[in-house]
Structure 1
Amino acid sequence: MAAARHGAFHPLTVAAVDRLTDDSVALTLAVPPELREEYRHAAGQHLTLRRITPEGAEIRRTYSICSPAPDAGGPGPAHLRVGVRMVEGGEFSTFAHKEVAAGDVLDVMVPAGRFVLEPTAAAPGAHYAAIVGGSGITPLLSIAATLLAARADARFCLVRSDRSAASTMFLDEVADLKDRYPDRFQLVTVLSREEQEAGLPTGRLDQERLTALLPSLLPVTDVAGWFLCGPHGLVQGAERALRGMDVPRTRIHEEIFHVEDTPRPAPGPGAAVAAHGRVTARLDGRSGTWPVQDGESLLDAVLRGRADAPYACKGGVCGTCRAFVVSGEVRMDRNFALEAEETEAGFVLACQSHPVTEEVELDFDR
């Protein structure tokens, strides 16, 4: 797979804009032959899209790829598809819904993200499952379609929660998976604000409800990997439910699509930010050193010297700015993107990190 650990953008033409619901669209991006290897992606990865406003402001947003991943031995993708849900006050989502049309050109970063499932890594006869809410279906559509097509012995259970049938994204695409793999794809739909003629009662998928529901659907502890995606509250509740049923932490994979505004955690003992600091960063094989100004994140310090440093949300959610701490010590304000194994190994989110020691060295290339 082509490397994706840098902040380079390429202009891609919008091939189609498809309305999925009243508040969501799918953008199909055409990838020219000379860039297809760079846009080769694993199922579950995302793209960062960039817009420069008429006033000169730069807006970046991250959207998961919903199209299946290309075969490992075949060519890179000729097209990529992402789902965009309208967010109240969202600058990019409003632009995508009201202004973007087929033939337009968008700046698109190469694929990134570790919320992935590689079919070649699946054990024979493995069973996978996902719990998603709203637009959290987007990466799981790619993951399920890729896995089921590549592995005739794999099974996938999708539990999805939406407000209503009319607000459900990729309804036809998920139904097509059920038609193509009736014996290997299990779909369970829960609506939180609308009664269904058949199926589960209306209501939110919280920890209590999932604890009662999941054992009736599949052998919970036998599932090789659980993929949780959507709003922070849903993902947290699903994780607690699974951990309460003795699912090992290593089998639970999470991606947050939205985090409500929450206070920054208070720094722990010995974690005071250095009054003056310097950061040395390695990116695409080149290193540089820059001062870190008071209150500034390590990412912002690096960006003053390297405008190509990778980032998207700057909110600790997307994981685009993931970097390895080579030396020194940092404090992260919050983290909704890295799994425990990554932070224990020394990775941080540069957008949320501040120097604790005067000298810090980061490696964005690992």
Structure 2
Amino acid sequence: MFHPLRVSAVEQLTDDAVAITFAIPAELRETFRHTPGQHVALRRIVGGAEIRRTYSICTQATEAPDEPVVRVGVRLVEGGEFSTYALKELSVGDTVEVMEPMGRFSFEPRAGRFAAIVGGSGITPVLSIAATLLAREPDARFCLIRGDRTAASTMFLDEVADLKDRWPDRFQLVTVLSREEQQSGLPSGRLDQERLTGLLPELLPVADVDGWFLCGPFGLVQGAERALHGLGVARSRIHQEIFHVDDGNPTTAAPAGPGPASAAVPAHSTLTATLDGRSGTWPVRDGDSLLETVLRSRSDAPYACKGGVCGTCRAFLVSGEVRMDRNYALEPEETEAGYVLACQSHPLTPEVELDFDR
């Protein structure tokens, strides 16, 4: 559900990025009380067309009775309708429709050693995770390894520096710039699989890290995951969120759900879906995803990016078989349990049933 929220602050982070803070009315405080790592979807209507974009919350998570603080970082994307509006038009006092916090790249703070590898705007949810962890758990340590193009393009410099000042013994910061040499620290270059494989054991005891958080462009996250696997890190300790996917890097479009993997695409299919306790059945038009099928009759169907990245449209496949074109949001254990992304799913059987409420 979307709620109209007033913009209370717009802060310039870099030449191409801003931080937007929303005022939360008293009656919505519990609705917008987020867990570290979650995101919100923002909605805008332009020329009768709806635009939705997801942005991670960068602020420390609060607990009652403290007020929740919802602040997101927005980086300009070439041709991006919402990011252009946010950087060039949005002002304090404006109203934006904001969906309540969601997302599974979230973390309940606990004692232990944790680390993150981020690139660019991937710092946004990790900043919330690190700040909340260090504030709540005196026995926790956090290592942040971040890659950016240049110092001038680095988001949330002051916020990260504040973490270092407040917890110098428990917060370790490693910065790598790909297009600019630093006066001190590591040489410039990308944080790819080969470099991380050699670098990580020099920075911290890899085997002792209780949780790894990978966030940023697809290439960085994929390289970091492979490096960690090569260093013997169990998949259960790796959590990831993709911020940008190059269309040249598709995932394998494998069938998901019961039935033979070689099932032929049916000439006609129907979808039954349960959402907020109500069910309906509709024909699936040729080429349409299951999400598009639901949206024709249920405008309240959950979605944000429609690109297989955010996971907002996750649903349980009750029956039938589907093909997912791409999946950057669901963990292997989720797909094995029967969950699919409705925005990327197409029917492979005459009848398919989804449950958005599970």
TM over 0.5: yes
The bucket for the TM-score relative to the shorter chain is over 0.9
Offset at residue 273 of structure 1 (A): 2.8
Residue 111 of structure 1 pairs with residue 111 of structure 2: no
2:331 to 339, 353, 363: 339
- Residue 252 of structure 1 is matched in structure 2 by 238
- Per-residue CA shift, 1:127-160, capped at 9, x if unaligned? 0000000000000000000111111100000000
Gaps of at least 5 residues in structure 2 are 256-260
Which segment is superposed worse, 257-266 or 14-23? Answer: 257-266
TM-score, normalised by the number of residues in structure 2: 0.96
One-letter amino acid of the counterpart of residue 351, structure 1: C
The secondary structure found in structure 2 opposite 1:354 is strand
1:240 partnered with 2:226: yes
Distance apart, 1:19 and its partner CA = 0.2
Give the C-alpha shift of residue 274 in structure 1: 2.4
TM alignment of 1:3-152, pairs within 5 A: 8-53=1-46, 55-71=47-63, 74-75=64-65, 77-119=67-109, 122=110, 124=111, 126-152=112-138
Structure 1 residue 262, shift from structure 2 partner: 2.7
Q: Is the 8 A contact 2:33 2:68 kept in 1?
A: no
Aligned match of 1:321 in 313, 322, 335?
313
Residues 31-53 of structure 1, C-alpha deviations (whole Å, 9 max, x = no match): 10111111121100000001101
- 3-state SS of the aligned residue for 1:230? strand
Distance change in 2, residues 1:266/1:252 (3 Å):
closer
Query: Quick one: which of 167, 188, 209 aligns to 2:195?
Result: 209
Q: Is 1:270 equivalent to 2:262 in the alignment? A: yes
| Alignment CA distance shift 1:75-1:317 (3 Å) | same
Q: Tell me, what secondary structure is at the counterpart of 1:166?
A: coil
1:76 CA displacement: 6.8
Match of 1:312 in 2: 304
The total of aligned residue pairs comes to 352
Q: Distance in 2 between matches of 1:314 and 1:232?
A: 16
Alpha carbons of 1:315 and 1:247: their partners in 2 closer, same or farther (altered >3 Å)? same
Q: CA RMSD in A?
A: 1.3
Secondary structure, in 3 states, of the residue corresponding to 1:209? helix
CA distance in 2, matches of 1:225, 1:190: 21
The TM-score with structure 1 as length reference comes to 0.94
Assess, with a 3 A threshold, how the Cα gap between structure 1 residues 39 and 278 changes in structure 2: closer, same or farther.
same
Q: Secondary structure at the match of 1:92?
A: helix
Deviations 1:335-356 (A, max 9, x none): 0111111111111100000111
* Alignment correspondent of 1:5: none
Separation of aligned partners in 1, 2:177 and 2:249: 30
Q: 1:270, CA displacement in angstroms?
A: 1.1
Give the unaligned 5+ runs of structure 1: 1-7
Which residue identity lines up with residue 112 of structure 1 in the other structure? Answer: M
Asked if the contact 1:129/1:156 (under 8 Å) is kept, the reply is: yes
Moved over 6 A (4+): none
